[in-house]
Amino acid sequence: MPTNYKVAIVGASGLVGRTVLKVLEERTLPHISYTLFASSKSAGSKIRFLGKDYIICELNEKSFDKHFDYAIFCARRKYISKICFGCCFKGLCSN
């Protein structure tokens, strides 16, 4: 039985984030649900991804209170340093 993975994409509205989304669309990976994060400036805006509209969520200290199996970080260090540090304590970091 396939596993449904939950993936967070941080910095989804930026140039690198949109490129990551394009690559993920080309790969058509099954059984994955995505949550897209960006700064407060982009929060609430929509991005078309995998044939549907995703609403960008604001990245903050509580963003990773919800469980994610994987996280892809595509944002500048100044925006994600505290968030990324907290992710390590929630089991998202690996060596």
Taking only the tens place, the pLDDT of each residue in 12-38 is 999 999 999 999 999 878 899 999 999
Task: For the chain, list the domains and their CATH numbers.
Answer: 5-89 (3.40.50.720)
Helix, strand and coil content of the chain, in percent to the nearest 5, comes to 25, 30, 45
pTM summary value: 0.81
Q: Using one digit for the tens of pLDDT, what is the confidence trace for 48-62?
A: 999 999 999 998 878
